[in-house]
Amino acid sequence: MKVQNKVIVVTGGGNGIGRELVLNLLAKGARVAAVDINESALQETVKLAGDKKDKLSTYVVNITDRDAVAALPEQVIAKHGVVDGIINNAGIIQPFVRVYDLDYAAIERVMNVNFYGALYMTKAFLPHLLKRPEAYIANTSSMGGFLPVPGQSIYGAAKAAVKLLTEGLHSELAHTNVGVTIIFPGAIGTNIAVNSGVGDSLKVDAESQQQQSFKVLPPSKAAEIIIDAIEKNKYRILVGPDAKFMDFIYRLNPQRAANFIFKQMQALLPK
């Protein structure tokens, strides 16, 4: 689906990939409804939109609030007249600890934001998307959604749920006007740790950072790759060289891939 002149809703539009998706869509001639729980972050996105800000609307919404999400489509339609697509991008990681040490409040928060937020958005907007001549759903999973990352097991479980939800939607909507893409980002240069409230648990010394096998992808480049995939109606998109490499290795030998990631990440786990 070409995004020019389309109305696209983007969750997590106040930061990171979400903000860059908003700006990329505006640059391509789309109208955008940016959704985020952080009002000041959304206002910063508006500033960055510059002369395109007239095509941008913002909504301060907690996507884990099902009633608030259910009310969102009518708000977007009241502003823009229609809605043609949604990009469920908002997400948070968990504290970098083993499942044994992770409390239920953190578990529920991670599942609610990453999985139920995407589900609520999809359920709320899909009836309206089905009425459009052409429409789209793109959901952000993670490299951790197909590959086990120690210390992020619940986050990975939530993103794996997003993966299968999205793949199921693709099959269910195959004979409709709604296209579906699943997105697997690798390491992207965002503030997800801080925005997730777990920044202090992700302290890594400079030497370890220098030993990383792959360069971190700028969020602007990630957004460019994602929008290109949507416009080409791709089934799945791997964002970043690490995501592509680990997808390849995981398909060849899942245990070897899991062991590789464990060796890369074990220094982050509490002893």
With 50 as the cut, is the pLDDT of residue 210 above it?
A: no
What is the distance between the alpha carbons of residues 121 and 71, in angstroms, rounded to a whole number? 10
- 99 close to 269: Cβ distance less than 8 angstroms: no
Confidence at residue 208, expressed as pLDDT on a 0 to 100 scale: 38
The pLDDT assigned to 206 comes to: 30
Mean pLDDT is lowest, of 13-27, 125-139, 172-186, 252-266, for 252-266
Q: How confident is the model at residue 266 (pLDDT cuts 50, 70, 90)?
A: confident
Listed in sequence order, the residues at least 6 apart from 100 whose beta carbon sits closer than 8 Å to its beta carbon are none
The band of 192, judged by pLDDT with boundaries at 50, 70 and 90, is low
Residues identified as active-site: 155
Task: Provide the pLDDT for residue 127.
Answer: 98
pLDDT at residue number 204: 39
49 falls within a domain: yes
Instruction: Report pLDDT for 194.
Output: 54
CATH classification of the domain holding 253: 3.40.50.720
Contact by Cβ (8 Å): 182, 139:
yes
pLDDT value at residue 213? 56
Q: Which neighbouring-strand residues pair with 60? A: 36
Q: Does residue 1 lie within any of the structural domains?
A: no
Q: What is the pLDDT of residues 62-117, one digit of tens each?
A: 999 999 999 999 999 999 999 999 999 999 999 999 999 999 999 999 999 999 99
Residue 93 belongs to a domain? yes
Q: Give the chain's mean pLDDT.
A: 91
Q: Is residue 221 part of a domain?
A: yes
Q: Answer yes or no: is pLDDT of 211 > 50.
A: no
209 pLDDT exceeds 80?
no
Looking at per-residue pLDDT, the higher value among 200 and 254 belongs to: 254
Whether 141 is covered by a domain: the verdict is: yes
Residue 165 sits in which domain range? 7-268
Reported pTM: 0.90
Tokens of 154: 């619940």
| Residue 245 or residue 195, greater confidence | 245
Distance between CA atoms of residues 93 and 111, nearest Å = 10
Whether 138 is covered by a domain: the verdict is yes
For 213, half-sphere exposure in the C-beta direction (CA atoms, 13 angstrom radius) is 13
% of the chain at pLDDT higher than 90: 85
Predicted local distance difference test score (pLDDT) of residue 83: 98
Q: Is residue 2 part of a domain?
A: no
Confidence band for 201, pLDDT divided at 50, 70 and 90? very low
By mean pLDDT, which of 120-134, 182-196, 210-224 is the weakest? 182-196
Q: Which two tokens stand for residue 63?
A: 């996507």
**What is the number of domains present in the chain?**
1
What tokens appear for 95 in the block? 């504290």
